[in-house]
Amino acid sequence: MPRRKPNPESEQSIPEMVDELTRQEIATWYKDGKLTPHGRQMAKRLNRALPAEKVNE
């Protein structure tokens, strides 16, 4: 995966700063293609907050 060259903070808008911090946080969730303990914990929290939609068949 190519590395992004982030803009200096003085040139970033608030949404750009939030996006960059989100990328950095999510990057800590995986190591060697597997979820880290922190990643598993965050996945559980996200599942509770944003449950999958049920499909009526």
Amino acid letter, 24: Q
Tokens of 30: 């995986």
The pTM of the full predicted model, rounded to 2 decimals, is 0.55
Provide the pLDDT for residue 6: 62
pLDDT tens track for 9-57: 677 788 888 898 999 999 999 899 899 999 999 989 988 988 888 777 6
Closest to 9 (Cα-Cα) out of 18, 48, 26, 29 = 18
Provide the pLDDT for residue 34: 92
Provide the pLDDT for residue 37: 93
Provide the pLDDT for residue 50: 85
Provide the pLDDT for residue 11: 77
- DSSP label of 49: H
